[in-house]
Amino acid sequence: MVNTKVELCNITLDNPVIPASGTFGFGYEFAELYDINCLGTFSFKGTTKDARFGNPTPRIAECDRGMINAVGLQNPGVEAVIANELPKLKKCFNKPVMANVSGFAVEDYVYTCEKLDKEEQVGWLEVNVSCPNVHGGGMAFGTSAEAAAEVTKAVKAVTTKPVIIKLSPNVTDIVSIAKACEEAGADGISMINTLLGMKIDLKTKKPVIANKMGGFSGPAIKPVAVRMIYQVYEAVNIPIVGMGGVSSAEDVIELMLAGATAVEVGAANLIDPFAARDIVNDLPGVMEKYGINNLSEIIGGAH
């Protein structure tokens, strides 16, 4: 009998499969389709201090081997998430959940994380530093080691739960940013967020997405994810939550061999709502195929 359990920041997961933020809502929508307790956990919809309507439409574009999205962090705001979304989730999910947090100033992150840290259901805070820093000229916090470290330090000062910093791949040196987050107190690194992409409509001769550019995700980005996870694993001593183009149990194992402790499934959920469940179900058979008895023993196995 194979063992699919892994430990993420001192919390045991039944398996490493985690639906990624923005692709799984607040969980209860998927709970109408299957028992979501089969998952390791999931990362809920990116939450900001205040409610956000998001970007103008169209904000989704299909591409070869992937998709571009510019949803713009549409969410009801942290107070509404705590008051309305978490109680609904509690009825259908009995495991700790990963709270995904976004912000446009350091104070935003601090406020939202401090609120969510007090919620019993929240096991980890996944802090997305791929947002534009409104006080820093609009560059994403995650494109600067100093800015990413500043957010990490500020959030760690007001929280007790594990803080996992979600990094942007749209940088020349992701390793230095991961190391800066670790030095600032991060308990884990989550990577990679979407690559910046664009699609032009040949008939209108204009960008398909109203925002012009958006986050490119899907199977096409997996080799980039594997490479970046591999690099960061060599440089830090904190766990990595890997993601980027994952759509099968084989993909989960590949990212774990590169250095991921747990693996998020993103765009695949939007193509098939049962994708994460099916990956969980397929995992033991794929482990047996490749002679793996204990999943936690293969983390970083390719090094």
Strand 97-101 versus strand 260-265 pairing type: unpaired
What is the rounded CA–CA span in Å between residue 39 and residue 281? 10
Contact 99, 116 (CB under 8 A): yes
Specify the residue for token string 């499969």: 17
Spot the catalytic one: 38, 63, 113, 131: 131
9 assigned to active site = no
Q: What is the signed CA dihedral for 144, 268, 17, 295, rounded to 10 degrees?
A: -100
Residues in the chain, pLDDT under 50 = none
Choose the CATH number for 6-298 among 3.40.50.720, 2.70.98.50, 3.20.20.70, 3.30.530.20: 3.20.20.70
Provide the pLDDT for residue 136: 76
Provide the pLDDT for residue 198: 96
Provide the pLDDT for residue 248: 98
In DSSP terms, which residues pair with 7 in a beta bridge? 12
Residue ranges per structural domain of the chain: 6-298
What is the rounded CA–CA span in Å between residue 298 and residue 290? 11
Q: Could you tell me which of 184, 218, 180, 282 has the C-alpha nearest to residue 68? A: 218
Query: Helix, strand or coil for residue 30?
Result: helix
In DSSP terms, which residues pair with 132 in a beta bridge? 140
- The upper half-sphere exposure of residue 76, i.e. CA atoms within 13 Å in the direction of its Cβ, equals 11
What is the rounded CA–CA span in Å between residue 264 and residue 262? 7
